[in-house]
Amino acid sequence: ASKAQGCNTCHFFTKEMNMGVTRRLALEEQLHGALGNSELEVLYQPLVDIHSRSIIGAEALLRWHNPTLGEISPDEFIPVAEQTGLIIPIGEYVLAQALEKTAQWVHQRQWPFKIAVNLSPRQFRDERLVTFIEQQLQANSVPGSHLELEITEGVLMGDHGYINSALETLCRMDIGIAMDDFGTGYSSLSYLRSYPFDTLKIDRSFINDINVDPADRELVNAAIAMAHGLGLKVVAEGVETEEQLESLATQYCDVAQGYLFSKPVPPEEISRMLIKGRFTRS
Ligand code: C2E
Ligand code: MG
Ligand code: MG
Ligand code: MG
């Protein structure tokens, strides 16, 4: 019986693996045409000042609608884009779109507005990145101070010299650097010590249970205090309830992003939100 079972397990496992490979190939094949076929869309999720509830910026988040595969989550297709190198043209598209919209929003808004754009490791290693950003900022007449690049630990692994000089160049352009998904990696603390971050984004998985799990609450409180001690601004990701917001407010967390205020939305929606300027308590 055990032999038969072992065989079944083996067969099942292989089938699962094949499905993974098939899916992966389909994604790769479709992703090649995604830009040209206008299947990619950039949505924006508001960044909200916790104390005033006013919108101080937005994060650009990519969406892929494919006629054969349907909606594909960025958690699934960004790694494929990264591995194939397609992330370079795709990432340039996101930056160009986001800065074009930001030009309107900065003009519309009478006070600071920041656009946050995610960068993957391969984008960061591309030596044309800085030039591309410089061109886009200039083309849209947006000062670098309105842009913040979000990076995760993966971006910082590797050549310390190159990373340092790239970060320094961006810093001289007044572009902000945020550490994304803080708390999920292995070496976030040592990276915080080594590089000039402006913002710390606490991962959604810690915010989720902030009012349920005392350990999560303590970790979030400590992260906020530490970031402030280092002179960084703190953004809490994935804020979904007033209770979570309240807990973060008592710790002087600066900015909230999450479904409590808004899901990622098309740019026209952000323009409408900016006219109102702030979110009122529901
Ligand atoms: P991220 O940069 O950490 O973005 C935050 C994610 O949390 C987004 O998922 C957002 O929709 C989601 N989120 C925000 N608030 C809430 C909430 O209250 N509840 C819940 N359940 N989720 C919330 P999304 O849009 O699926 O993106 C996933 C990841 O894909 C991003 O994580 C980022 O790492 C990557 N990504 C998205 N767009 C881009 C892009 O243009 N370039 C690169 N390189 N990566 C991107
Ligand atoms: Mg992000
Ligand atoms: Mg994140
Ligand atoms: Mg994430």
* Ligand nearest to the backbone CA of 80: 1
Atom of ligand 1 minimally distant from the CA of 74 = 30
pLDDT digits (tens, 9 = 90+) for 130-158: 999 999 999 999 999 999 999 998 898 88
Q: ipTM, 2 decimals?
A: 0.98
Cα dihedral across residues 200, 174, 57, 120: positive or negative: negative
* Ligand nearest to the backbone CA of 45: 1
Compute, in angstroms, the gap from residue 5 CA to the centroid of ligand 4: 38
Cα dihedral across residues 276, 258, 24, 129: positive or negative: positive
Compute, in angstroms, the gap from residue 224 CA to the centroid of ligand 1: 21
pLDDT digits (tens, 9 = 90+) for 18-65: 668 899 999 999 999 999 999 999 999 999 999 999 999 999 999 999
Atom of ligand 1 minimally distant from the CA of 203 = 3
Tokens linked to 170? 């961006």
Pocket of ligand 1 (CB under 6 A): 45, 60-62, 73-75, 78, 91, 94, 118-120, 150, 180-181, 204, 237-240, 257-259, 264
pLDDT digits (tens, 9 = 90+) for 235-271: 999 999 999 999 999 999 999 999 999 999 999 999 9
pTM metric for this prediction: 0.94
Q: Please name the residue whose Cα sits nearest to atom 41 of ligand 1.
A: 62
Q: Please name the residue whose Cα sits nearest to atom 45 of ligand 1.
A: 118
For the chain, give the percent of residues with pLDDT over 90. Answer: 78
Residue 3: pLDDT band (50, 70, 90) is very low
Tokens linked to 160? 């310390």
Amino acid at 72: I
Angle of the 160-172 helix axis to the 129-139 helix axis, nearest 10: 10
**Cβ atoms < 10 Å from Cβ of 173:** 15
